Structure 1
Amino acid sequence: MDRQPGWSVRLKLTLSYAGFLMLAGVLILTAVWVFLLRSYPSGMLVRSVLLRGFGPAVAAVLIFLLIFGLLGGWILAGRMLAPLDRITQATRTAADGSLSHRIRLPGRQDEFRELADTFDTMLTQLETHVAEQQRFAANASHELRTPLAISKALIDVARADPHHDSSELVDRLHTINTRAIDLTEALLLLSRANQRSFTRENVDLSLIAEQAAETLHPLAEKHGVTLHTSGDITTTTGSPALLLQLTTNLIHNAIVHNLPHHGTVWIHTSTRPTTAVLTIDNTGEHLTEQLVATLTEPFQRGTERIHTDQAGVGLGLALVKTITTAHNGTLTLHPRTTGGLNITVELPQPPQK
């Protein structure tokens, strides 16, 4: 924003300090003058003598207060505003693209130091967010490039050998194209959830869970996994489509990352004093805390746990995390002691009317 040049804050504080000092001096001298008038007998001669003796002293005192106020105010204002200069320099450094700089303002807690600490915290969060976005963009580019490169290779093979069976080529291209479309749609959904551009309404998580479980029942049968759904009415506020996507992703993840045979997935909804809770437990291999901590990162599929070709596009739990955050909820993942994973989503309940 273009602004007209104006006085600096330091100059304004200096003039304010000097002005108040001058005003205090005038009030004090006026009080002395009134006291002198009351202390001496009335008369023109006496008052004339007092005025001749008191006037130059008043002028000298006022000149001294003006100079002292300007000089002292300038020094004091500079000392008081020194932290603000450091904050301003840090802001300019951040505006130039350097997010690693921190103010780290020393001293006891006050308004300036609270502002500096808040700014440092914001820079840390912003730096982390930018790093995540850069890593996500790099991973997304790699994931999108892979199916395109495979498609190009298949087409080159077909062009080099016109007599090659085209049905197999078409099937493979269809599979690769479907995967690229799924990835693109997942990226768009992730972007939509990040922007929180959706209409909120009351949603019953128990119905959402039943709908998602019913949709994924054929996949569960194919993998030999049994689905158990339980829970009472569990109401939250949000987007039905996004919450259905969240639940579907969790159940899908629990099915495909399960035991090779006779696996189980437990889907339960419940309420707490202020939150609606969706819990997904599944059997499976034993997981470490270190591995579980990475599963919500984009394109982290936990490949050591995959026993089928249902690996998805690597955005399942990342999308769950984004949707949960967009709904002001919390997502927690813990490895089960008997193997498999426990995932809990807590979402705010609608306000009581």
Structure 2
Amino acid sequence: MARTFPFTAIAGQDEMKLALVIAAVDPAIGGVLITGDRGTGKSTAVRGLAAVLPAIRSVTGCPYRCGPEDPADGCPHCSEHFPKGLRRPLLLEPVRVVDLPLAATEDRVLGSLDIEQALVHGRKRFEPGLLARAHRGFLYIDEVNLLEDHIVDLLLDVAASGENIVEREGLSIRHRSRFVLVGSGNPEEGDLRPQLLDRFGLSVEVTSPDDIDIRIEAVKRREAFDNDPDAFLASVAREEVRLSRRIAQGRGRLATVDVSDMIRRAIAALCMKLGTDGLRGELTLIRAARAVAALEGAASVAPTHLRQVAPLALRHRLRRNPMDEAGSRLRVERAVAEAWAA
């Protein structure tokens, strides 16, 4: 079995790692968009984080990845095999990372009629797609800016409702599909559709490290992993366990973290100053700041938490200003400083 490079061993790229950990603590935040250079550890970080997350409980044999909190009558498999409140057996399994290829068809994404069952047995049976496999896990799209428009529309519908509905070929199927959407791509190869861009809760920009020591350390760690994966994984096992516990504890504290009216006012003033459309930016910023506070064990959100996550939550929601040559992160940091000073 292929080994996953450990998340905690990734050298540099602190902003990307923070964004992914925040999304792991609060999956409802809307996912993470990672843009920038190739070979900067984007897919490695996603898979590494999934490997370190606490295992989840799933219904044994359910192809829709139902958990104990998912109602049986909302799943085609569970409603058929466990009627009238019959107890569903559970098993522990790792969090999945499901890749959505650019060439994926609508049938592969949504699910379709099982042709073999139809031809051999004459039965209409639904074959779940990628959205079923990604439930309660990660859906990863490399070069998301090149994704075909009709697939983008499907993702937008499911991301908004948390449910996949398929009605075709005499089938009518409905199942839950809640996942952390992670997209990566190079902006030089094309822009992301505004509708999909707005759906991502957090956005980070990654570049090749410009610190020679970090570059050397990154290469050394990769070489050590490739030469002896078992020894390398053992050397970082304690850090991996520490991160797993920290995420689990953050999830447990999340609902109790307080957001004061003063913080809410500061967030609203910041979004107004930056000219973000709608209220999604404010809601995401509150969620992200609360997640960071929960990770740190704080009882309430503080200004330091806002400063940490404001660029992640707002940089991709800014309107383009041809008169301002500053990058999106600098614009957000400048607005944070000015709004808080006021």
TM-score, scaled relative to structure 2: 0.19
Higher percent of residues as helix: 1
Query: Normalization by structure 1: what TM-score?
Result: 0.19
| Larger relative contact order, structure 1 or 2 (CA cutoff 8 Å, min sep 6) | 2
- The structure number with the bigger radius of gyration is 1
